[in-house]
């Protein structure tokens, strides 16, 4: 029978996995029972398995609605590598006839299409020709006008699905708040008990947020401890180009740029090279990453603050989908917030409040001395433990200092100098520096001249960053600072200011971030073989086997196909295709 017991058997046979992760089993139980479901699971939780497995187990084809051709082709490769009969119908495919024939003959497990095609009447007629087992709707938040990425084509899917009332629906997304979830379920007629909401935690990702002093040096250090693939997000095309060039020169690693200004061919080539690579770093604007399904990204670095906590979590979520230890590092500067807050003025009112709230939440994240993961998960409505043990604040606790008095001094200096000078000048005034410009402006005669003691002065920079992050200090058009937010309340003594003092020595993370036994001759040989097979098959190495599978092989040293087949990530199809060659490699080392 098609119960969950036989799902375990298929899981082992097809994917070579021993067990389900997170809420996969709950989703599968519903799908196999024919119940429509909305699965909200974070990136990397293994959403695709929840429809690929039923597609193999159940009679009839599973139709997958997916918004991006690149994503579909990625999925297609991985599915086929596991021996699943999958096909896509997109404008980029030349094998339409074969695909249509295979579907009509009942020989397709999975059929991927884009929503604009799926919602056409002709497609509905085509689907009536053979039995279906499931509609899987990927990126299902696009169905809802409440979601951050509404697409009208998604709304039209309802007509298609209503034409096949007996076929269950599985909607999948990584990002949907309460309102969006309710809307998706109503639109797709998913019953109220059909929601499976997985935890948002990504325990294998280490979070660190640092002040940016020298991004090239900071990234070079990060890359020195991390030899695997990485994504660096920068905010403008110019910064992308500049960083890519400097990082390549400083590290000798393959580094490529990605942004909307590159010609499409170069952009596609850089993306493909990154997906296939085991050590490349791609420096990109946030346009990069959507639709990329590379499981072995070992770090995601942000140079500059992201747009919101949601965007941050989605972007950092591209690290470590394979479950191996990975890092998310943000290098932020006070100016990032200052310019973002300046831009708020141009936003129209109902939206401006929401935008301001987004910035405040981000400021809270970068400025916190608490566990970063706890702050993130609480933002998504969870109740996490207060200490995760895998973020910068847990591993190197930062101190918190009351800086209310110093903040009053700084803010009055801003006020008395006319709200038009930058931090450099303000520091000189406050510390009583003998400076030509200070004297010329008459700022040496102000009551705030020299009121900050030398030992307090080292807190001025972190304080100014904190005040800018919170919006109590805002940038003027000419690069000066002006009062904003709660500045007046602080000046009047109605509001206190606590700031985080970073630990004195900022150790970069130890070189043990990647557990791969690089340098072990057997592991290296297995990797080389994987690369060779990947090139032969023209797929990225991880489609052959994940790093974790190679590690297990190097450790267990199986000598027979039967032993090899017991290792995680080796299903029947891959055992047959690659087993002998890996056994030979193990035997020779």
Q: From the list 27, 28, 38, 45, which residue makes contact with ligand ADP (rule: CB under 6 A)?
A: 45
Question: How far apart (Å, rounded) are the C-alpha atoms in residues 31 and 169?
Answer: 8
CB 378 within 8 A of CB 474: no
CB of 78 to ligand ADP, least distance (A): 7
CB of 45 to ligand ADP, least distance (A): 4
170 is a site residue for ligand ADP (CB under 6 A): no
Q: What angle do CA 337, 342, 343 make, to 5 degrees?
A: 100
User: Counting Cβ atoms within 10 Å, is residue 531 exposed (0-12), middle (13-18) or buried (19+)?
Assistant: middle
Instruction: Name which of ligand ADP, Zn ion, none residue 554 binds, using a CB cut-off of 5 to 8 Å depending on partner kind.
Output: none
Q: How many residues bind ligand ADP (CB under 6 A)?
A: 16
CB of 491 to ligand ADP, least distance (A): 48
CB of 410 to ligand ADP, least distance (A): 45
Question: How far apart (Å, rounded) are the C-alpha atoms in residues 508 and 221?
Answer: 7
| DSSP collapsed to 3 states, 164-223 | CCCCCEEEEECCCCHHHHHHHHHHCCCCHHHEEECCCCCCCEEEEEEECCCHHHHHHHHH
295 is a site residue for ligand ADP (CB under 6 A): yes
Closest by alpha carbon to 90, among 123, 58, 60, 61? 123
Kindly identify the residues of this chain, within the stretch 501-520, that bind ligand ADP according to CB under 6 A. Answer: none
198 is a site residue for ligand ADP (CB under 6 A): no
205 is a site residue for Zn ion (CB under 5 A): no
Helices (H), 325-440: 334-344, 349-367, 372-379, 392-395, 404-416, 423-431, 436-440
Strand partners, 232: 283, 301
Kindly identify the residues of this chain, within the stretch 309-338, that bind ligand ADP according to CB under 6 A. Answer: 321-322
Q: Which part of the chain contacts ligand ADP (CB under 6 A), choosing from 14-22, 206-214, 359-367, 470-478?
A: 14-22
CB of 201 to Zn ion, least distance (A): 11
Instruction: Name which of ligand ADP, Zn ion, none residue 321 binds, using a CB cut-off of 5 to 8 Å depending on partner kind.
Output: ligand ADP
CB 472 within 8 A of CB 499: no
66 is a site residue for ligand ADP (CB under 6 A): no
The rounded Cα 554 to chain-centroid distance in angstroms is 30
Q: Which part of the chain contacts Zn ion (CB under 5 A), choosing from 175-183, 366-374, 476-484, 531-539?
A: 366-374
394 is a site residue for Zn ion (CB under 5 A): yes
Question: How far apart (Å, rounded) are the C-alpha atoms in residues 155 and 165?
Answer: 17
- The nearer residue to Zn ion, 397 or 493, going by C-beta atoms, is 397
CB of 42 to ligand ADP, least distance (A): 7
17 is a site residue for ligand ADP (CB under 6 A): yes
Q: Which residue's entry shows tokens 């935890």?
A: 199
230 is a site residue for ligand ADP (CB under 6 A): no
- Residue 95, CB half-sphere, CA atoms under 13 Å: how many? 9
47 is a site residue for ligand ADP (CB under 6 A): yes
Question: How far apart (Å, rounded) are the C-alpha atoms in residues 282 and 259?
Answer: 10
Question: How far apart (Å, rounded) are the C-alpha atoms in residues 212 and 195?
Answer: 41
Q: From the list 20, 112, 331, 582, which residue makes contact with ligand ADP (rule: CB under 6 A)?
A: 20
Q: Which part of the chain contacts ligand ADP (CB under 6 A), choosing from 2-10, 43-51, 197-205, 558-566?
A: 43-51
Question: How far apart (Å, rounded) are the C-alpha atoms in residues 323 and 59?
Answer: 32
CB 292 within 8 A of CB 263: no
Question: How far apart (Å, rounded) are the C-alpha atoms in residues 53 and 4?
Answer: 11
User: Counting Cβ atoms within 10 Å, is residue 488 exposed (0-12), middle (13-18) or buried (19+)?
Assistant: middle
Q: From the list 36, 43, 173, 412, which residue makes contact with ligand ADP (rule: CB under 6 A)?
A: 43
CB of 280 to ligand ADP, least distance (A): 19
Q: What tokens does 145 get?
A: 């006008």
DSSP reduced 3-state for 450: coil
CB 296 within 8 A of CB 228: yes
Q: How many residues bind Zn ion (CB under 5 A)?
A: 5
172 is a site residue for Zn ion (CB under 5 A): no
Q: From the list 48, 175, 412, 514, which residue makes contact with ligand ADP (rule: CB under 6 A)?
A: 48
Instruction: Name which of Zn ion, ligand ADP, none residue 270 binds, using a CB cut-off of 5 to 8 Å depending on partner kind.
Output: none
388 is a site residue for Zn ion (CB under 5 A): yes
Instruction: Name which of ligand ADP, Zn ion, none residue 371 binds, using a CB cut-off of 5 to 8 Å depending on partner kind.
Output: Zn ion
- The nearer residue to Zn ion, 255 or 391, going by C-beta atoms, is 391
441 is a site residue for ligand ADP (CB under 6 A): no
- The nearer residue to ligand ADP, 226 or 293, going by C-beta atoms, is 293
Binding interface with ligand ADP (CB under 6 A):
17, 20-21, 24, 41, 43-49, 293, 295, 321-322
Binding interface with Zn ion (CB under 5 A):
371, 373, 388, 391, 394
């Amino acid at each position: 029978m098609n119960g969950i017991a036989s799902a375990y058997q298929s899981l082992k046979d097809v994917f070579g996995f021993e067990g389900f992760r997170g809420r996969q089993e709950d989703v599968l139980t519903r799908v196999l029972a024919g119940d429509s479901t909305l699965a909200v699971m974070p990136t990397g939780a293994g959403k695709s398995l929840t429809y690929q497995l039923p597609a193999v187990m159940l009679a009839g084809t599973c139709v997958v609605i997916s918004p991006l051709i690149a994503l579909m082709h990625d999925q297609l490769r991985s599915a086929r590598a596991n021996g699943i009969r999958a096909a896509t119908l997109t404008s980029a495919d030349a094998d339409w006839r074969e695909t249509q024939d295979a579907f009509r003959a009942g020989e397709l497990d999975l059929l991927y299409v884009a929503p604009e095609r799926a919602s056409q009447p002709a497609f509905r007629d085509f689907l009536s020709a053979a039995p279906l087992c499931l509609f899987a709707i990927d990126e299902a938040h696009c169905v809802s006008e409440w979601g951050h990425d509404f697409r009208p084509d998604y709304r039209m899917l309802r007509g298609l699905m209503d034409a096949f009332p007996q076929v269950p629906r599985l909607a999948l997304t990584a990002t949907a708040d309460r309102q969006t979830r309710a809307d998706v379920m109503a639109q797709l007629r998913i019953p109220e008990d059909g929601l499976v909401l997985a935890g948002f935690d990504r325990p294998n990702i280490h979070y660190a947020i640092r002040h940016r002093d020298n991004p090239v040096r900071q990234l070079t250090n990060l890359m020195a401890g991390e030899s695997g693939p990485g994504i660096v997000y920068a905010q403008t095309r110019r910064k992308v180009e500049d960083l890519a060039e400097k990082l390549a020169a400083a590290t000798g690693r393959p580094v490529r740029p990605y942004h909307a200004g590159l010609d499409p061919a170069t952009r596609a080539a850089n993306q493909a090279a990154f997906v296939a690579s085991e050590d490349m770093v791609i420096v990109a604007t946030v346009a990069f990453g959507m639709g990329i399904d590379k499981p072995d990204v070992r770090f995601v670095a942000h140079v500059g603050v992201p747009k919101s906590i949601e965007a941050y979590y989605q972007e950092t979520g591209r690290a470590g989908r394979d479950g191996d230890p990975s890092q998310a590092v943000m290098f932020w500067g006070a100016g990032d917030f200052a310019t973002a807050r300046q831009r708020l003025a141009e936003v129209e009112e109902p939206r401006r409040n929401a935008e301001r709230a987004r910035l405040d939440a981000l400021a809270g994240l970068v400025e916190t001395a608490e566990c970063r993961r706890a702050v993130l998960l609480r933002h998504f409505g969870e109740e996490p433990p207060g200490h995760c043990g895998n973020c910068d604040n847990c591993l190197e606790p930062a101190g918190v200092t009351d800086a209310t008095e110093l903040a009053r001094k700084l803010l009055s200096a801003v006020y008395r100098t006319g709200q038009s000078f930058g931090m450099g000048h303000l520091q000189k005034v406050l510390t009583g520096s003998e400076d030509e410009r200070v004297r010329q402006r008459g700022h040496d005669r102000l009551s705030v001249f020299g009121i900050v003691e030398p030992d307090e002065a080292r807190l001025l920079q972190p304080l100014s960053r904190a005040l800018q992050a919170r919006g109590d200090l805002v940038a003027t058009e000419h690069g000066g600072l002006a009062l904003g937010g709660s500045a007046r309340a602080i000046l009047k003594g109605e509001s206190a200011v606590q700031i985080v003092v970073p630990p004195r020595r900022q150790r970069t993370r130890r070189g043990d971030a990647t557990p791969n036994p690089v340098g072990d001759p057997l592991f290296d040989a297995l990797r080389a073989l994987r690369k060779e097979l990947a090139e032969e098959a023209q797929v990225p190495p991880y489609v052959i086997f994940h790093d974790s599978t190679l590690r297990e092989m190097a450790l267990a040293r199986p000598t027979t196909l039967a032993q090899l087949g017991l290792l995680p990530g080796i299903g029947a199809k891959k055992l047959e295709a690659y087993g002998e060659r890996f056994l030979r490699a193990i035997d020779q080392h």
